[in-house]
């Protein structure tokens, strides 16, 4: 019988280059409720324009904090990039949004 170690919640598995940014930036599981992602529920509730404004503000937040949390600068920059794309009407979850 093989026993797997449990991972700490919220922490992606490490690769040789460090933490996998992809797993914490694009569609993390903690933003899902059933099959609906939070960002999609926000569009349904508030409309596209309001979500784009939110995305711009959130990008600012991640740029502001980048480099201030040990080991998180790359992730913060990737999240800022994700939100900037979303603010410009591009869905970064789709292949053409990369």
Nearest to 82 by CA among 26, 41, 23: 26
**Could you tell me if residue 2 is inside a domain?**
no
* Structural domains in the chain (count): 1
Domain span at 56: 48-98
Residues 45-95: tens digit of each pLDDT: 999 999 999 999 999 999 999 999 888 899 999 999 999 999 999 999 886
**Could you tell me if residue 27 is inside a domain?**
no
Q: Does 17 have pLDDT greater than 80?
A: no
pLDDT band, residue 16 (cuts 50/70/90):
very low
Q: How far apart are CA 54 and CA 33, in angstroms?
A: 20
**How much is the pLDDT for 24?**
72
pTM: predicted TM-score of the whole model, two decimal places: 0.71
Q: How far apart are CA 93 and CA 28, in angstroms?
A: 11
**How much is the pLDDT for 41?**
95
């Amino acid at each position: 019988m093989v026993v797997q170690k449990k991972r700490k919640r919220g922490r992606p598995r490490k690769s040789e280059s460090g933490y996998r940014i992809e797993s914490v930036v694009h569609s993390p599981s903690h933003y899902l409720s059933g099959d609906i992602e939070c960002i999609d529920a926000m569009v349904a509730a508030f409309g596209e324009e309001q979500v784009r404004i939110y995305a711009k503000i959130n990008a600012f937040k991640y740029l502001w904090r980048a480099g201030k949390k040990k080991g998180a600068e790359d992730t913060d920059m990737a999240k800022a990039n994700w939100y900037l794309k979303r603010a410009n009407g591009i869905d970064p979850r789709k292949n053409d949004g990369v």
